[in-house]
Amino acid sequence: MSKFKVTGQDIGNHGHKAVFGSKPEDQFLIPMQVKFPTKRSTNMTQDEAPENLLDYYKLKINSSALSDKYNNKTILVGLCAEGGREMVQGSKKHLEDLPVIVSLASMAYHALNTNPKKKLITAHYAPVYGIPLSYFDFDARDAFEDRMQGSHSVTIETLGYECTVSINIEMDAVVPEDAIYVYDLERDWKGKLKESPVSKQDILIIGIGQLTTDCGYVSKMKFDDNRSFPIDFGAASTKDRFRYDFNTELSKKDNTAFRIVNRNHLDKIINNDFIIEELSHSIKTVFESYVEEDALNLVDDILNNVRMRKLAPHMVVGIGGGIQVYKNYIMNRLSEAGIDLKIDSQPEFATARALYKWGMSERSGFHEDASEGQANVSVEA
């Protein structure tokens, strides 16, 4: 059996986080969106091409894991696929095409990055996937593990250059998201136990994503399914509610900012990417009131579950890309309840990091451990 490169694959609703090692260049995010290229994107000139492949990622995947709609079709993935197919709230990720596409795209990108300018690459990976607590079960786990195992071919098409990456997967794994974060707390990058008191503690892990919030409870390093709980709410929920009110009510008010800002400007403002300060401040002040209201409601839901389930965590940790949106309000409300919330230094990559460390620990002896970050590959010039 070949040695496999472990990778943590956090399949988010809005972004796919992939971790292949401890170095920054081995950790990246690909927006969870795909679309078929238009004539305009196909005819892009060399001068128009971005420097980073992930900014214009065109590829073709040949895999039995994909439906006929996408299999062996040229597609755009990530940033350049804006306006294309995205994850739908409530969809079961293990049955969708998007997680397969973006996961294989991340592995192909990593293989090419570690072997630049090669035209044929064979790479062996052992991906560890996380799926939400809300529908994690053995059937979902087995279905996605079986779906991803085997060989997949990814042809990366850049301007004037083409590379085919043959990806072999034999030792993939699917585990519940967020609760897995304890592996980041107790393990180093080689999967070895580090000196940490968390092994004797009960830990509540609050993972706020864009569409859902998963609260995983771990007691003395064991996942407690009966005391873990999902909440059908995420950071995008606040933005969607604000957009709806903006379009139906707020934009009709006698307020210059609300009357002249169009929908595209609105998205940039609430994402802190708009430069007209007077307009931005006026709208962001109202948007912040939505953030506060939703944050406090979310914390109340969490505290009600903590009381109802009689939880007594020694530690409460916040992770996920959505935690930053509500950070201050959540910390203050939990503090009032006598709970000290610790937020991961890189919350968006926290789950992917933990998945990677799980793989390094549980797949010990099967993954390659020389030259961390390098995929086990064979190449042809």
Give the span between the Cα atoms of 210 and 236, in whole angstroms. 5
| Whole-prediction pTM | 0.86
Give the span between the Cα atoms of 195 and 259, in whole angstroms. 57
Q: Taking the CB of residue 259, how many other CB atoms lie within 10 A of it?
A: 11
Domains defined along the chain, listed by start = 5-171+363-380 (3.30.420.40), 194-348 (3.30.420.40)
Name the pairing type of β-strands 120-131 and 173-176: parallel
Rg (CA), the chain: 22
Q: Among 153, 149, 158, 169, which Cα is nearest to 121's?
A: 153
pLDDT per residue, tens digit, the chain (381 aa), is 567 899 999 988 888 999 999 999 999 999 999 999 886 655 555 455 455 778 888 999 999 999 999 999 999 998 888 888 777 666 678 889 999 999 999 999 999 988 888 899 999 999 999 888 777 788 989 999 999 999 999 999 876 678 999 999 988 999 988 778 989 988 999 998 887 767 788 999 999 988 889 999 988 877 787 888 989 888 888 988 888 887 777 655 555 455 545 555 556 655 654 444 444 566 778 888 999 999 999 999 999 999 999 999 999 999 998 898 899 999 999 999 999 999 999 999 999 999 999 999 987 655 555 344 555 545 454
Torsion angle of the four alpha carbons 150, 151, 152, 153, in this order, in degrees rounded to the nearest 10: 180
Give the span between the Cα atoms of 29 and 23, in whole angstroms. 14
